[in-house]
Structure 1
Amino acid sequence: MPLPLFESPWMSAEHRLLRDSAARFFTERWLPRAAGWREAGLMERDTWREAGAQGLLCAAMPETLGGSGGDFGHEAVIVMEAARANLGGFGGSVHSAIVAPYLLRHGKDEQRRRWLPLLATGERVGAIAMTEPGTGSDLQAIRTRARREGADYVISGQKTFITNGQNADLIVIVCRTGDAPGAKGLSLIVAEIDAGTTGLTRRRLDKIGLKAQDTSELFFDELRVPVANLLGEQEGLAFGQLMGELPQERLVIAVQAVAMMERALDDTVAYAKQREAFGQTIWSFQNTRFVLAQAQSDVLAARTFLDAAISAHLKGELDAARAALVKAWCSDLASRLTDACLQLFGGYGYMLETPIAELWADARVTRIYGGTNEIMKELASRSM
């Protein structure tokens, strides 16, 4: 598959080696199984151990805790190659670039030593349970409650749209641990789910896109979790913890969106040059060339914007406002660009056997998850 027209300035030789290795693994090992995963609605549990053995999990976690000792750039190239391979079912970005950093930055030493090596090998699968049926971007309205009973929290409530929801057995739950209003009463509690766990029911959700991703609704009914699994030194810290980690989550979504655009453009150019209509390739029509030239400039602009954000993040300089902007702009553009590319495929573009159809459907959710783009623009406007 063609590489970007310009190399990303933050990308080192080590990043490029990982990129190439991830691309080969996804293409050779996982793509032949992708149709079965879409049909089943999830990837098998053993795929997580395969990814761990390949070094594709927790790439930015310290080696002393089982990770690869890299930086966010290593996570980014893995996310890019999964998206470019059209493997929307792989929830590794949530597992490695969202859940693992919560444990690393907010966990106690014993918690980090217990959980991070298992995430790195894929022996445990991570998820974060934030969204509730009546509470999306407004985290202060969360209702799931954890009451204290001796050495345990007893958690009751409901979460929805949870990535890795069926496979996850290490779930960071955002819940209310006190009577304080709004954000002040929220805490993060980590639930370890094993064969004997009671109090958790899962329902896999049927979505427009991301068909192989086991996105789920979770029901907590008196789920008991040790008090020792609280993240942070005390209760009530969750809102600040979430605000500190959400910029990286939103940057990950922008990475996915740009990689989807690159794949869509590559596929559409190749198709236009071989598909014939009226005795000539559709590439010979001026409108086709104009549409794809515009798409190429859009992809270059998006990649440049994304590269600037990644470079800032690697230096610790990416603030919440700019992360919100890059997420919103890249994801909005991904929906428009994949739609324009699908149009050039004609009827075949509407068939799921054609990769552009899956890219188009998968790109749509990038404007919603991680905070809707309307909320992203509101956040960005506050810094103006």
Structure 2
Amino acid sequence: MYELNAEESAIVSVVRDWVDRQVKPVVRDLEHANTYPGTLIEQMKSMGIYGLAIPEPWNSAGVSTPCYAAVTEELARGWMSLAGAMGGHSVVAKLLVNFGTQEQQDHYLPRMTTGEIRATMALTEPGGGSDLQAMRTVARRDGDDYVINGSKTWITNARRSQLIALLCLTDPDARPTHSGISILLVEKGPGFSVSRDLPKLGYKGVESCELAFDDFRVPATSLLGTEEGRGFGQMMRGLEIGRIQVASRALGVGRAALEDALKYSQERESFGQPIWKHQSVGNYLADMVTQLTAARQLVQYAARRYDDGGRADMEAGMAKLFASETAMKIALDAVRIHGGYGYSTEFDVERYFRDAPLMIVGEGTNEILKNVIVRQLVARNRVTR
């Protein structure tokens, strides 16, 4: 599976056992009731899961990105929403590690390690979607403060996060537009409202919200780093770990669907034999395990590339693109294998089928990611004339 040392393999094993003992027995009821998994989140904090992406000196138990991906896969195998509950948090942690001032790092990272502070990122706007340069949220300098006006949407964990990495325009007149984009580290206060939780097909239990900023004032020290206009590049690096995380969520959903389908195909009989022996079902299973294994290898490749410190947007994009499309296909094939029971809410495969599309459209739609991939492909293979 993953190429991990003994210590990291033990961490993944602990999370796997926890998922089997604590998550799987309760997930169906929590998900169908759209109930926030408070008890499970607290257990994740105590296990150190919220600090996995944070290295020393702020956390002595940080792990490699391949290990982080493996833990994410295990969480999503139990319930994709649990992996989502720590995804944006990890992106913000990496933003602080890579670009924050010493004061910002020391202020936030120790408490983010324990989960005392939970963080999320606010990128998407109602009219912009994956086009981050089309944003209209503006932060204007006013003395020692920024005054923020605008709105964001589809912000996961927004109600329960204490820290938001807000992507906004600090220079609306800058050309090109991205040179006027910055990240502000904001906490809730007057002028910042979470207007509503968005209803969703899947991804239940954790909230995805609309945010509104109306003359919301934050100190100038909220700027990530020391220079305005760096936010777009900073967030693109942050989205590399974000896309590896989403790809790992897809692996977890695909693996859960495969495991359920494999079990059911051995228990269910038709025409006097287990259904896996029927060629049509057996072919589904063969394709599912092959595609899932290939997707995991691509995620590992992206994770290793990220840890090497070089640019990994192409690798992370390929991993997220392939893993998410694979998870969607596996989830559908698991429904096919279950037959009519696959359409029943008494079986988990219907949940996998509802959760899988989130990874296709989240953290940059797959259509956008193909643009990212091909731009990097050409940039790395320029034809000289």
TM-score by length of structure 2 reads: 0.91
Name the counterpart of 1:24.
17
Structure 1 residues 197, 67: CA separation in 2 closer, same or farther (over 3 Å shift)? farther
Q: Which stretch shows the higher mean deviation, 169-178 or 352-361?
A: 352-361
**Who is 2:209 aligned against?**
216
Query: For 1:49-103, what per-residue CA distance to the aligned partner results, in whole angstroms no more than 9, with x for missing partners?
Result: 4322111112131242146232223321220110111242443442443111011
Describe how 1:131-280 pairs up with structure 2 within 5 A.
Answer: 131-178=124-171, 179-181=173-175, 182-193=177-188, 197-280=190-273
Query: Per-residue deviation at 1:241?
Result: 0.7
Hey, what does 2:87 align to over in structure 1?
Answer: 94
* Contact 1:155–1:222 (CA under 8 A) maintained in structure 2: yes
Tell me, in whole angstroms, the C-alpha distance in 2 between the residues paired with 1:217 and 1:320: 27
Deviations 1:254-274 (A, max 9, x none): 212122222211110100111
Q: Secondary structure at the match of 1:345?
A: helix
1:294-305 matched pairs, under 5 angstroms? 294-305=287-298
Query: Is 2:53 aligned against 1:43?
Result: no
The amino acid of 2:105's aligned partner reads R
Structure 1, gaps ≥5 residues long: 1-6
What letter corresponds to residue 375 of structure 1 in structure 2?
I
Secondary structure, aligned partner of 1:291? helix
Q: Is the 8 A contact 2:92 2:238 kept in 1?
A: no
| Unaligned stretches of 5+ residues in structure 2 | 379-385
**CA distance in structure 2 between the partners assigned to 1:164 and 1:113 by the alignment:** 23
* Structure 1 contact 42–89 (Cα < 8 Å) conserved: no
Structure 2 residue corresponding to 1:293, chosen from 273, 283, 286: 286
Query: Amino acid of the residue matched to residue 16 of structure 2?
Result: A
Q: Distance in 2 between matches of 1:125 and 1:116?
A: 10
Deviations 1:319-368 (A, max 9, x none): 22222122112211211121111111112212233111111111111111
Contact 1:128 1:172 in 2 (8 A): yes
Q: What are the superposed Cα offsets for residues 30-50 of structure 1, whole Å, 9 maximum, x if unpaired?
A: 444434543553525565443
The 3-state SS of whatever aligns with 2:205 is coil
The question of whether the paired residues in 2 share the 8 Å contact of 1:34 and 1:87 is answered with: no
Q: What is the match of residue 383 of structure 2?
A: none
Taking structure 1 as reference, are residues 213 and 352 closer, same or farther at Cα in structure 2, changes over 3 Å only? farther
SS at match of 1:64: coil
Q: Which amino acid aligns with 1:309?
A: A
Partners of 1:255 and 1:153 in 2: CA distance:
36
| Structure 1 vs Structure 2 CA RMSD | 2.0
- How many pairs does the alignment contain? 375
From 114, 118, 123, give the equivalent of 1:121: 114
* Structural mapping, 1:308-347, within 5 Å: 308-317=301-310, 319-347=312-340
- 8 Å CA contact 2:266, 2:275 repeated in 1: yes
TM-aligned CA distance change 1:82 to 1:247, over 3 Å: same
Indicate how the Cα distance of structure 1 residues 24 and 105 shifts in structure 2: closer, same or farther if over 3 A, else same.
same
State the TM-score, normalized to the length of structure 1. 0.91
Percent of paired sites with the same residue:
33
Q: Using a 3 Å threshold, how does the CA distance of structure 1 residues 201 and 312 change in structure 2: closer, same or farther? A: closer
2:73–2:249 Cα contact (<8 Å) kept: yes
Assess if the C-alpha contact under 8 Å between 2:51 and 2:115 holds in 1: no
Looking at structure 2, the residues matched to 376 and 140 of structure 1 have their Cα atoms a distance apart, in angstroms, of: 15
Among 57, 68, 71, the alignment partner of 2:64 is 71
> After superposition, where does 1:360-379 map in structure 2 within 5 Å?
360-379=353-372
Contact 2:301 2:315 (8 Å CA) reproduced: no
Rate the CA distance shift 1:326–1:267 in 2: closer, same or farther, 3 A.
same
- How much has 1:379 moved relative to structure 2? 1.6
CA contact (8 A) 1:119 1:126 kept: yes
Distance 2:315 2:16 in 1: 29
> Are the aligned partners of 1:86 and 1:358 in contact in 2 as well (CA < 8 Å)?
no
Q: Which moved more, 1:127-136 or 1:180-189?
A: 180-189
